Structures are given as C-alpha cells and as structure tokens.
Amino acid sequence: MTAALPQVGAASELFVFAGAGASYAPPAALPLFDPMRNAILRELGLDDYLDEEQPELVRITEGLAPEPFMLALRDSGVDVQDWLSRTLRMDEPAPPRPNAVHVALAQLAAAGAAVWTVNFDTLIEEAGHGLRAVAWPSDAASTGEIYKPHGSLPGQLIVTADGVLAGLRADWRQALAEAVRGRVVVFIGYSGRDFDFQPLWDELLDEAKHVVWFDLPNRDEVDRRRRLLRRCVARNALTLAQSGTGSDPSRDFVAWCQANGLATVPKPLLDQLVQERPRRPFPGLGVDHLPAEAAIRGVLGDWRGAVRVNLRRLWREPGRRATVGQLIALIVNNGGRWLPVPLWVAAKVPLVPARWRNGAERKRLTAHSRLGSHHKVLRGTGRIDDQTVSTLLILRAMSMRITGNLDEAADIAAEAHRRAVWEVHEVRVAHAAFQRAQALLWAERLEECRQCLDEDLRPAAGIAAARWVAWADFVEGGIALHEGKPAEAARYYELSELRFRGEGSMDGVVSVQTAKLALVRMTDPVGFRTALATLDGSMKSTSAQDTYFTRGHRFTDEAVLIERAEYARVHAHDLDLASRWYGEVARSRFPLQRALGLLGTGLVAVERDDDRAALTEARELAGQIGARLVHAHATAAVSLPGGSQPQEVFFC
C-alpha cells in the first residue's frame, strides 16, 4: 500500500462495513457469486455461458449482481433462502470457519466499534463467542454489536432484485447515519454497488471523520470510489488503500488493525488469507429445471430460448396457465412489427377488463417506440399526470430525445426513474436511468451524465438484466469519447457490443457500431471504410436468432450519413460529397439530425469561404433543443477565417 492510513487510538472510533470479500477469503472458502452463478448455469444446462470460446456469451453474465438470478429462481419455484442456507453451511471440503478478518472484526465489535456487514453468514459472531447480531427485518434500534441490514442465517434475507430495490428501511438508514457520525469509516471486501446503500454513502459519510477503503488496485474503481464519495474528496477525507504486489485488501486491513493496537490475530490465521481457496460444491436447486431455466434465460436476454423451454413445459403439461402467461408475455415483450395492431385491438375492445386494456396500450406504445414510431409514442403519452406509470414516461423521454428537446427528455426520464423506484420495478428503473443518461450525454451535460451512470444506471443495470449492463457500457463509452479518451471508449464499446451479440440484439449492436464510427474516424481513418462495411453487414442481418426492431429507421441511417459526410470533409477532402450528404441531413425531420446537418453544411461553407448562414441556423436550432456540443461547434466555426479547415467534430 502507498496511501498513508490514519491512526486510530480506540476501536470505538471506528465504523467498519464488511462486504463479500471479507467473508469469502480462505479458509472459510464460502462461495462468491461467480462460482455460485456458474454452478446454477451448469445445473440448468446453460454451459454455453461459461465457454471461453464464446466470449460474447460469457460477457453477458459479467456485471450482473446476484439479485436478478435469485429473483428469477424464486419466481420459478426455488426456495432461494433455503438454497442459500444449504449453500453457505455445506461442510465440504471442510466446515466454514472464521478467518483472520472475522476475528479482527469480532474483536473490534467487542471493543466498541460499529461493525456492519451485508453478508449472511454468522462467522463474525462465531469468532466473537457471544456477540449479538441485529439483523433485518428486526428493528435497527435493537441492541447488538454487529448489524446485518440484508439479514442473517437462518432468518429472512434480502437476496432478490425487488428486495434491494425497496431501499434501506427508515430505521436502518437512521441507525447507519448515527453509526458513521464522527467516526473513521472503513470499507473492507466491499464493492460499493449495493442498490440500497450506494445512493446514501455520499451524504451520510460527509459526517464521518475520515473514510478508508481497502481495495484491489483498479484505476476504474479508484475513479468510481472518488465520484461516489465526492463530499469526502472535497474535504480531503478519503483514503483509498490499494493493495500492493504480494498482498491483498483483507490482509492489509488486519495488519492496519494490529498496527493500531485494535486487534490481535495469530500469524498462521493471517497467512491463510493469501492461500488459494479450496473449491466447494453447491447443492442442487431441488426443483423442476425447466421453469428455472426459462427464468434464467430471460435474465440473460435469451427470450427465444425461454420461449422454447416454455413450449417444452406445455408439451409435458398442457394447459398450465402460468406457463401460457409467460409465453404470451415473452412474445408480447419481444414481438416484431406485427405486434401494434393486435395490441391496439386489445386496448380498444370494451369487453376486455380495464386493467388489461391499459396494459395492452402500454405494450402497444412500447412496440412503437422500439420500431421508431416516435410521433405515435408522443401522441399516446400526451396525457401525463401524477398517476401515470413510469413506463409511459420512459417511452416519452426516449421519443423526446429523438425528436425534441434533450433537456426536457432528461427531465422526463428523471421523473420516470423516481416513479420506477417507487413502483419497485428493477427493469423500469434501469430503463429510465439509461434514457436520462443518454439524453444528458447528447446534451453534453457530462458531469450529470457520469453521476447518473454511477448512481442510477450501473446499480440498476446489475440487478435488472444483461441488456442494461450492455447499455451502461454503451453510455460509458460515449462519455469517454466526449472526454477525449479513445482507448477507454473503445474498451467499453467492445464490452457493450459483445454483450449485445450474445443476446442477439442487433439494435444494440448497430447502436454501438454507429457510435464507433466517430471513434474510428478520428483515431484510425484508414479503418473507417471497414467499420462502415461491418455496420452495413449488421444492418442487413437476417439471422433468425437476431432481434432487430429498428431496421431501416431513418434516424440511424442519417446518423451514419453524418459520419460519412464528416469523413468525406476531413479525410477524403471531397467537399462536394460532404456538402451533398450534409445537405440531405439538414432536411431531416429530426431536429437533432437537422442541426447536425446544418452544422456540417456550415463547416463546408467555411472551407469554401461561402455564405455561413447554415452555421447561424444550426446554432439557433441547437440552442432550442439543448444540443450544446453542436451549438459550441457552430459558434466556434462562425469566426473562422474563410478557406480554413474547421477541426474534426463528432456527434454521438
């Protein structure tokens, strides 16, 4: 470690928050989520997602938290709490025993430190011989030395997406605020991505004396920690203690406790922290595999596979209403261009119950949104009130982003996110966060976009489904491109495209490849034509395994045309071709594309020393719709001398 750690004179000065990395270090060797997830996939016959020769499938599972898997299993009939209890208590190859971290935490708790953990095991209590644990759903005002806000074995546990989405209960939040106030806060074995805690840390820890975060060296995580705890950074109260070569965070934490005279841990126990963990088996799920397989395939984005599994279930047990309902939901949620008509009929037939008619109308507008019929979406969502469900606001935000004002789209998405959280619907929360982040990105409100990504989209994506992790990567790539970090942008775009390919989502693949055109154009102009050809092949994909709703949508076609025009202007030096293509986009029915077309037309005019009226028009239109980057480029180009070549610009 290179960071200078604070000195602590007494355990009562500490608040320690322990995550999975604290419990799952040897010799306890309890299962982390990765091997647990892999065991579930193998049992359900989904080995393809573990095959390293199929990286696009392997990527799908990365970035997902345990909660969506646990929710899918619960909804398919698995007693998740019983399964987790059996998993965590298995005696093979050896019974779980407290490790050095548990021993140190037990000693700290006994000496007056506030010790909290989101782990379910009882190893700290076992190490402390009589320490009392206060575990959810008990009242947080109860007396104890250890606090477990996600529950504790053998009691109730918060393990599913809807559980964490409900947020930290008021009494637990109050107890947390009181526990951190004036103390040195220490994080050990913790990612900081829990949906219920993550939004609270910045405000609550502003009242902490200092924060020490023991972690592995990772530049991305360092940056995220600093953004997560902005207030601590502002008052110089955050120390990121990264482990050096030959060490690890758990060992460093225990060593720091011992150096401050707060704990005494035998050296053999401490040395075991860096030893390789033995593999542990996992108990079977104990249920019919077909419902569980269908549910997990849904989380992984394989909706066609889920349909096939449900058809097998119907073949085996005809007439199962639940299975029929799941099949209908899968088809309606993922149907193609034929879907709006039957949904319109279902929404208008008086004999259909009102609840079903309202649902059919939402699905109809969702289908129109996917197909790019944004005028229909705006017309169908024109009457918004305090009772409107978040879905309609999400759809309106997306259509407004494409056809109207970017700032207004971001505001609508923010309200949709608030309502989706209240509705406790993880997919809507993730979707609303994505729409807001993308609107903020296009509006060049980068700091707000980054905050939305860190605080709303990333946490929600991890507990929603694989596609939202892919969209989070997509936004991350866009931010990096806007910030002038091409290597980072390329890395996130690659991650996003791999995930989308694994799902067979050509809409996602085409979105990524379109955004990458700007990156390739500015960093590898020689490869631009190859990138165009690759995108063209994706847009013409006819594979039965791929889903491509927006095939032939004008907005995407114009986005590609803009990239071709800027390449022609800057790299091919063909002003006639650039002028023709930009002129075509300048007549777009989409205001953002029209502003970009006018900007490009004006840039060509500067090089030709022609009339620059298009720049003035582009600037006015960009100001009206909140396209700050377009406005800035147009403003800068107006004052350039005639005959000069304006700098290359990007538009994603």
What lies within 8 Å, CB to CB, of 413 at 6+ separation is: 393, 394, 397, 432, 433, 435, 436, 439
In this prediction, residue 314 carries a pLDDT of 86
Dihedral angle of Cα 342, 343, 344, 345, to the nearest 10 degrees: 50
Q: Tell me which residue of 451, 476, 17 sits closest to 215, measured CA to CA.
A: 17
- pLDDT tens-digit profile of 320-340? 888 888 888 888 777 777 778
Q: What is the mean pLDDT of residues 192-207?
A: 91
Q: What is the mean pLDDT of residues 605-622?
A: 96
Q: What pLDDT band is residue 459 in, cutting at 50, 70 and 90?
A: very high
In this prediction, residue 140 carries a pLDDT of 94
Share of the chain above pLDDT 90, in %: 64
- Mean pLDDT score of the chain: 90
Share of the chain above pLDDT 70, in %: 96
CB 282 within 8 A of CB 89: no
- pLDDT tens-digit profile of 31-70? 567 888 888 999 999 999 999 889 999 999 888 888 899 9
Question: What single letter denotes the amino acid at residue 430?
Answer: A
In this prediction, residue 27 carries a pLDDT of 56
| Between residues 66 and 625, the one the model is more confident about | 625
Write out the two tokens for 647.
């700098």
Q: Architecture of 368-563 per CATH? A: Alpha Horseshoe (1.25)
Q: What is the mean pLDDT of residues 478-496?
A: 95
Domain boundaries, the chain: 12-31+97-274, 368-563, 566-638
Residue 24 pLDDT exceeds 90: no
Place of tokens 């579930």: 40
Residue 28 pLDDT exceeds 60: no
Q: What is the mean pLDDT of residues 469-482?
A: 96
CA angle, 349 as apex, 347 and 352 as ends, to 5°?
Answer: 85
Dihedral angle of Cα 25, 27, 33, 39, to the nearest 10 degrees: 160
Neighbours of 267 (CB within 10 A): 8
In this prediction, residue 360 carries a pLDDT of 83
CA 250 – CA 621 distance, rounded (Å)? 55
Residue 93 pLDDT exceeds 90: no
Of 254-268, 286-300, 315-329, 598-612, give the lowest mean pLDDT range.
315-329
Residue 453 pLDDT exceeds 90: yes
Q: Tell me which residue of 18, 394, 389 sits closest to 214, measured CA to CA.
A: 18
Q: What is the mean pLDDT of residues 167-185?
A: 95
Q: What is the mean pLDDT of residues 352-364?
A: 82
Residue 634 pLDDT exceeds 90: yes
DSSP SS3 for 134 = strand
What lies within 8 Å, CB to CB, of 37 at 6+ separation is: 61, 64, 66, 69
Q: Which CATH number fits domain 12-31+97-274: 3.40.50, 2.40.50, 1.10.1060, 1.20.120?
A: 3.40.50
Range among 8-22, 103-117, 316-330 rated most confident = 103-117
Q: Do domains 12-31+97-274 and 368-563 have the same CATH topology?
A: no
